[in-house]
Chain A
Amino acid sequence: MSGGLEVELRDVRLSLDGFEACFDARLEAGSITALVGASGSGKSTFLNLIAGFDRPGSGRVLIGGVDMTERDPANRPVSMVFQENNLFGHLDIAANVGLGRSPSLRLSATDRADIAQALERTGLAGKERRKPAELSGGERQRAALARVLVRDRPVLLLDEPFASLGPALRTGMLDLLTALQRETGMTLVMVTHHPEDAVALGGQALFLEDGRVAASGRASNLFGPQGPEAVRRYTGRT
């Protein structure tokens, strides 16, 4: 596995339909970071900037010290998992995971072995030929994670990946995610509404407000009783 790369948003500014964002942040190689904040605070924009779906008006996006600002999404060392729609409905699970290796699905024997291994690792062995609609919501997100493993990029971005799962499933998925991160050393950035998810990930956290990083630190500190005022206002623990 490739290990992680440092991610840096250097004085990045952009405006989208009247929404102004301004980010200046550095995420260490191999670190875990949770992005927490209210709807419209700019969490998804933060991820879209790293992935290249949104381009900054000014400032630079660097990954592993290399300027990525002008690069297409496909040429960035990044994988992304969305809340939904990670799988293509008419392709079976193996093919959906295989897309992480070849977008035209021309797969070698090694590729196939890797796919099988990734499915095994995410607990989906035996479900290769199922269609996404035949899987549960949790299984679909596991398949998305299997594709991340096959894709093997140093940075993993997740946009509220477990928001539509129940509490027990969510805990299980968080455990799987942290385990995978430990094994691969990926730099992991996850957007979530839930401070307890951020704490469970056991890494750093950025608290976003109005398109800005309003507070940052270890997740357990940030969302603890001694956390900053703005964060406590959000969590309701005043």
Chain B
Amino acid sequence: MSARATAGEKAGLAALALLGLLAGGAFAGLVLSATRQGGDVAGAFDTWLWSAARFTLWQAALSTLLSVLPAVLVARALFRHRTFPGRGLILGLFALPLAIPGIVAALATLMLYGRAGLLAPVLAPLADGQWPGVFGLSGILLAHVFFNLPLAARMALEALEAVPADRWRLAAQLGMGPAARFRVIEWPALASALPGIAGLVFMLCATSFAVVLTLGGGPSASTLEVAIYQALRFDFDPARAAALTLTQLALTGLLVTGLQSMGAPLTGETNLTLARHGYVPPVSRSQAISGMFVIAMAAAFVGGPLVAMLLSGLQADLPRLLGESAVRQALVTSLALALASALLAVALTLALLRLRLDREKARRRGVSQGWIEWAAGNGASLILLVPPIVIGAGWFILAVEAGQLRLTGIIGPALVTTVNAAMAMPFVMRLLGPAHDMAAARHDRLSANLGLTGWMRLRLIDLPALKGPLAAGFAFAMALSLGDLGVIALFGSEDFRTLPWLLHARMGSYRTDDAAGLALILALSCLALMMIAARAGRVRA
């Protein structure tokens, strides 16, 4: 093996070790607390825990149902009508929620449906003159459907677009009517994609944190993740947090195993564009009308909170906000953390990709590779099994147990950076993986032949070839980190705050105008990054 291979090997193993340390440290924290207060952990499996677990599943199931069923109608309508003006705009609109941080979406939901929301005057007559606003389950469902209906619609549309054009031609020639076409072509295509779509949406809703933290809370509307946060942040009860975390891990473990056995994607959509299609099945007049109605309703539902967010954000005193030192400090911290974690995410992903490829080749030569190849290939998606709040909780407990809570000034930023990077990795992997493997197939033997190794090879061959996907992965990871309210919720303080944390704090102290302004700034920053990611991803080397 060449020197480059061993350098790549080391980088890859180091990346695996870091991920292992991240999860292992959290686990150690939990075990430590469990052994210290053994009886209490078992005792913490009380009715409150089970009700949080039940609510987690219940709201996720409802969110999935309310997202996926309408999404199928929307996807069918969008598939049939491919020429109406504004179709591209609506597809773009459907990509927007993905780019928006959970905390912003939660706030946008309040801005539209809340007690003082845009729709409150319209809804007031329905509630005897005083609209009570959405809170708890109804708010959580609205926000989750806002996120996931467009996601599910785009995935279902993709499934329909994947039907070979010849199928539609054949159906046209055989004279199939709409019913026969649905039965013979559309339903099989949708049916094979639906379990994956529903599974992904369920997983996203079961592990959603920022939305539930903002709109739910309290014993009646608390998910496991939020309960973990509350146990640590308010009750300071590591034993309860450990019990909750174990339950959460068991739950996500089951979900991920189930999802993977269905062949579902774990990362959803990362690109903002959709392929065009050659053959257009004919549409009747009544279908056209009902289709346009469905599309208009969905667009209004997705666009509504965005408009509410924009309007209330613009009403905020943005110049004053940006002048505040707390805001500027949070902005700088957020950007620095986002840059660092994006860099880390891309580096870790590259290292794992290289390691997997090398191990795969070695296996083909007959050298048994065992778990390392498997870990290199799956490590990135396995990290999704461990929700960020759980990793944060484990390390938080560890820091407490070690009596070093004051050290959170160091542990906090390091942990936020690493966990955000790890969470972005599955997405970066999907953006970068195919291009990386293709470039490797094209250049590996030639580079070895020319003796091009190590840094020189990275600089001369790999980086130029992967420029587009690398930029896309970087921007995507940065956007995710910028909008994240996960680990920071535990470690954040007056001395260490990010934009989402500040936004959450302002909402908590009912400074709604400030919150709206911050939400707008945050949303626009994330959106800009996502658009860069989409554009860069389209440029192929």
Chain A residues engaging chain B, CB cutoff 8 angstroms: 48, 51-53, 72-76, 78-80, 82-86, 88-91, 99-100, 103-104, 151
Given contacts A82-B166, A85-B164, A88-B185, contact A103 B172 (CB under 8 A): no
Asked if residues B166 and A74 are in contact (CB atoms below 8 Å), the reply is: no
Interface string of B170-186 (1 = CB under 8 A from A): 11111111011000110
Name the residue among A78, A82, A86 with the largest chain B CB count within 10 angstroms: A82
Question: In the complex, are the beta carbons of B164 and A104 less than 8 A apart?
Answer: no
Partner of A80, one of B169, B176, B177, B188: B169
Q: Give the contacting residue for A99; candidates B169, B174, B188; CB below 8 A.
A: B174
Q: List the A side residues contacting B169 at CB < 8 Å.
A: 48, 51, 53, 73, 80, 82
- Bound: A27/B394 CA distance, A: 77
Q: List 20 A-B contacts (CB under 8 A).
A: A51-B169, A53-B172, A53-B279, A72-B172, A72-B282, A74-B176, A78-B173, A79-B173, A80-B169, A80-B170, A82-B169, A83-B166, A85-B167, A86-B170, A88-B167, A90-B188, A99-B174, A99-B184, A104-B176, A104-B177
A89 partner residues in chain B, CB cutoff 8 A = 188
Check A103 against B188 for contact (C-beta < 8 Å): no
Q: How large is the interface on B (under 10, 10 to 19, 20 to 34, 35 or more residues)?
A: 10 to 19
- Give Cα distance in the complex from A75 to B176, angstroms: 11
B392 to chain A, nearest CB (A): 46
Contact B188 A84 (CB under 8 A): no
A160 to B173: give the CA distance in the assembly, Å: 18
In the assembly, what is the distance between CA of A78 and CA of B175, in Å? Answer: 12
Which of A52, A53, A83, A100 is in CB contact (< 8 Å) with B174? A100
Q: Which residues of A contact B176 (CB under 8 A)?
A: 74, 99, 103-104
Q: Are B166 and A103 in contact (CB under 8 A)?
A: no
CB <8 Å contact, A104 and B167: no
Tell me the chain B residues, 142-197 only, with Cβ under 8 Å from chain A.
Answer: 164, 166-167, 169-177, 179-180, 184-185, 188
Instruction: Tell me which of B166, B184, B188 contacts A85 (CB under 8 A).
Output: B166
B279/A74 in contact, CB under 8 A = no
8 Å CB contact of A103 from B164, B180, B282: B180
**Least CB distance, A156 to chain B, in whole angstroms:** 12
Residues of B within 8 A of A91 (CB): 184
Chain B residues within an 8 Å CB radius of A103:
171, 174-177, 180
**Shortest beta-carbon distance, B189 to chain A, in Å?**
10
**Inter-chain contact total with CB atoms closer than 8 Å:** 59
Known A-B contacts A53-B279, A82-B166, A104-B179; A88 and B173 likewise in contact (beta carbons under 8 Å) = no
Tell me if A's interface is mostly helix, strand, loop or mixed. Answer: loop
6 closest A-B pairs by beta carbon, nearest first, are A74-B175, A103-B176, A73-B172, A82-B166, A85-B164, A85-B166
Chain A residue contacts of B164, Cβ below 8 A = 84-85
Q: Which residue of B lies closest to A76 (CB)?
A: B173
**Besides A80-B169, A88-B185, 5 new A-B residue pairs in contact (Cβ under 8 A), listed by A number:** A74-B172, A74-B173, A83-B166, A88-B188, A89-B188
What is the CB-to-nearest-CB distance from B133 to chain A, in angstroms, rounded to a whole number? 47
Instruction: Chain B residues near A85: list those with CB within 8 A.
Output: 164, 166-167, 170
CB-defined contacts of B174 to chain A, threshold 8 Å: 74, 99-100, 103, 151
Closest to A48 in B: B169
Question: Cα distance A23–B519 when bound, in Å?
Answer: 60
Separation of A79 and B185 alpha carbons in the complex (Å): 19
Cα–Cα distance between A104 and B171 once the two chains are bound (Å): 11
- Once the chains bind, are B170 and A104 in contact (CB under 8 Å)? no
Chain B residues within an 8 Å CB radius of A72: 172, 282
Interface residues in B225-283 by Cβ distance below 8 A to A read 279, 282
Closest residue on chain A to residue B171 by CB atoms: A103
In the complex, A48→B174 CA distance in Å?
15
Task: Verify B180–A104 contact, CB threshold 8 A.
Answer: yes
What chain B residues lie within 8 Å of A90 (beta carbons)? Answer: 188
B277 to chain A, nearest CB (A): 13
Per the bound structure, the CA–CA distance linking A79 and B177 in Å amounts to 17
Q: Chain B contacts of A88 at CB under 8 A? A: 167, 184-185, 188
Question: Once bound together, how far apart are the Cα atoms of A74 and B180, in whole Å?
Answer: 14
Does B173 contact A51, Cβ atoms closer than 8 Å? yes
Residue of B nearest to A153 (CB): B173
Give the residues in chain B near A100, CB-CB below 8 Å.
174
Q: Separation in Å of the B446 CB from the closest CB of chain A?
A: 29
Residues of B within 8 A of A78 (CB): 173
B177→A82 contact, CB < 8 A:
no
Contacts of B170 in A (CB 8 A): 80, 82, 85-86
On chain A, the residues within 8 Å of B279 by CB distance are: 53
Complexed CA–CA distance, A76 and B172 (Å): 11
The docked-state distance in angstroms from the alpha carbon of A48 to that of B169 is 9
With both beta carbons as reference points, the residue of chain A lying nearest to B187 in the complex is identified as: A90
CA distance A91 to B173 in the complex (A): 18
**Which chain B residue lies CB-closest to A151?**
B174
Task: Tell me, rounded to whole Å, the shortest Cβ–Cβ distance linking A96 to chain B.
Answer: 10
B184 nearest CB neighbor, chain A only? A88
Distance in angstroms between the alpha carbons of A52 and B172 in the assembled complex: 9
Q: Across the interface, name the chain A residue whose C-beta is closest to B167.
A: A85
Taking a contact as CB atoms under 8 Å apart, the answer to whether A80 and B184 are in contact is no
Question: Nearest chain-B residue to A81 (Cβ)?
Answer: B170
Given the complex, which residues of A lie within 8 Å of B167, measured CB to CB? Answer: 85, 88
CB-CB under 8 A from A84, the residues of chain B are 164, 166
Q: Which residues from A are CB-within-8-Å of B184? A: 88, 91, 99
Residue of A nearest to B279 (CB): A53
Residues of B contacting A99 with CB < 8 Å? 174, 176, 184
Nearest chain A CB to B186 CB, angstrom units:
11
Closest residue on chain B to residue A91 by CB atoms: B184
How many angstroms from the CA of A90 to the CA of B184 in the assembled complex?
8
